[in-house]
Amino acid sequence: MTDPAVRLVEPLAAAPDAEVTIPGSKSVTNRALLCAALADGTSTLAGALFADDTAAMVGVLRGLGVEVRTDEAAARMVVAGAGRGVGAEPATVDARKSGATSRFVLPAAALTAAPVVVDGAAQLRARPFGPLLDAMVELGAAVRPLAAPGYLPVEVAGPIRGGEVTIPGHLSSQFLSGLMLAAPLLPGGLRVRVSTPLVSVPYVRMTARVMAAFGATGADVTESCVVVPAGSYRGVAYRVEPDASAASYFFAAAAITGGRITVPGLGPDALQGDVAFVDVLAKMGAAVERGRDAITVRGTGTLHGIDVDMADISDTAQTLAAVAVHADSPTRVRGIGFIRRKETDRIGAVVTELRRAGIDATEDEDGFTIHPGTPRPTTFATYDDHRMAMSLALLGLGTPGIGIADPGCVAKTFPTYFEVLDSLR
């Protein structure tokens, strides 16, 4: 069956009281896949995410000569590590719409002299790669732009060397994570200085932790400098935790509806910074319980507006915009100017769509301001951005007449999103 052009979200008849199973983390799955590919030996990933962004990483790794077997029903991926043999033959690979896949793979693709062309969908071709490519050139890569310099498609060839390099941090943390992931295999390791304030910091710490789980230990991470010693990856059995960004929609649903939702699999040791979204909900008035292996959010009927910097957890900024509509005072989100360069200009898109529904929302240079209100029946445009679709659908849980255009865009990270949302009924 093809996806409908518009998905209507019916209001919930009663506040939900549910435990919700969330698929594996995109960010962890894609890091684990690359570490496994660069490893000596075979790795098995349990709880892996099957979505377009992880299919992108699997496809790219296969293109670079790595054997990856997948079993979607079992949420399992088995990777035969190729060590330094990754990308040893000339190849052309397609990262689809996945920023993480493309930025992580570029340095690894330049570990050997074979030329590798990295390309992506039109959406990804519009996103920036310049700082990462410049750093790779400093490390000795041959970088040949096949379109505008600093954008995909691009051909890269190595071998890159270790040593020291500087990159800006204010556009994306993925450049830094990409360099880190290749770094253990560089002679002498790598020191990366970060020249401008680093965004999405928890993702860099996540990179170091996943690397360590695959045997590449000893990375030292601060916001201004990351040092990765030379080493190696080894094949391991690895369990991927549930996706905290995907869970944010369900935590928000509980806060908005006055229901209670538990997501198992996210404990105090979670790798994903986005679990901190529940702390924002708590500050707004929701009741949050962080257990040993689960997080529960309960809506209390009270939600206050908040002034919050979301530079660490920007994938949940649109979720918060949907929550802010239901608060009793305005919400100001700061520190996220860089999300104008994601799947779409997320600041412009979320403000435009909320205004379409009659909500008073304004763009700020580094974020947005949302005033509470009652949305009118609206079909929301989603800008080929999964997070626009998943966030705006939350407005339909309490308001009749909310439709989501192009609902299939959720396939980027959460293909079953609308089915899981319907399970709250």
Ligand X SMILES: C=C(OP(=O)(O)O)C(=O)O
Beta carbon nearer to ligand S3P, 25 or 369: 25
Does 96 contact ligand X by CB under 6 A? no
Output 37 or 402, the one with its CB closest to ligand S3P. 37
Choose which of 119, 243, 315, 406 interacts with ligand X (CB under 6 A).
315
At its nearest, how many Å lie between ligand X and the CB of residue 19? Answer: 24
Annotated catalytic residues are 315
The item of ligand S3P, ligand X, none sharing an interface with residue 387, based on CB under 5 to 8 Å by kind, is ligand X
157/180 with CB nearer ligand X: 180
7 binds, among ligand X, ligand S3P, none (CB under 5 to 8 A by kind): none
Closer by beta carbon to ligand S3P, 15 or else 321: 321
Question: If contact means CB under 5 to 8 A according to the sort of partner, which of ligand S3P, ligand X, none does residue 98 touch?
Answer: ligand X
Interaction partner, residue 346 (ligand S3P, ligand X, none; CB < 5-8 Å by kind): none
Q: Which is nearer to ligand X, 100 or 402 (CB)?
A: 100
Query: Minimum CB separation from ligand S3P for residue 65, in Å?
Result: 23
Q: Which does 200 bind (CB under 5 to 8 A by kind): ligand X, ligand S3P, none?
A: ligand S3P
CB of 310 to ligand S3P, least distance (A): 11
With binding defined as CB under 6 A, does residue 52 bind ligand X? Answer: no
Q: Is 332 annotated as a binding residue?
A: no
The residue of the chain with the least Cβ separation from ligand X equals: 99
- What SS3 string covers the chain? CCCCCEEEECCCCCCCEEECCCCECHHHHHHHHHHHHCEECEEEEECCCCCHHHHHHHHHHHHCCCEEEEEHHHCEEEEECCHHHCCCCCEEEECCCCHHHHHHHHHHHCCCCCCEEEECCHHHHCCCCHHHHHHHHHCCCEEEECCCCCCCCEEEECCCCCEEEEECCCCCCHHHHHHHHHHHHCCCCEEEEECCCCCCHHHHHHHHHHHHHCCCCCCEECCCEEEECCCCEECCEEECCECHHHHHHHHHHHHHHCCEEEEECCCCCCCCHHHHHHHHHHHHCCEEEECCCEEEEECCCCCCCCEEECCCCHHHHHHHHHHHCCCCCCEEEECCHHHHHCCCCHHHHHHHHHHHCCCCEEEECCEEEECCCCCCCEEECCCCCHHHHHHHHHHHHCCCCEEEECHHHHHHCCCCHHHHHHCCC
Residues 320-359 touching ligand X, rule: CB under 6 A, are 342-343
Binding site for phosphoenolpyruvate: what residues are annotated? 26, 99, 127, 174, 346, 387, 412
Binding site: what residues are annotated? 26-27, 31, 99, 127, 172-174, 200, 315, 342, 346, 387, 412
Per CB under 6 A, residues contacting ligand X are 53, 98-100, 315, 342-343, 387, 413
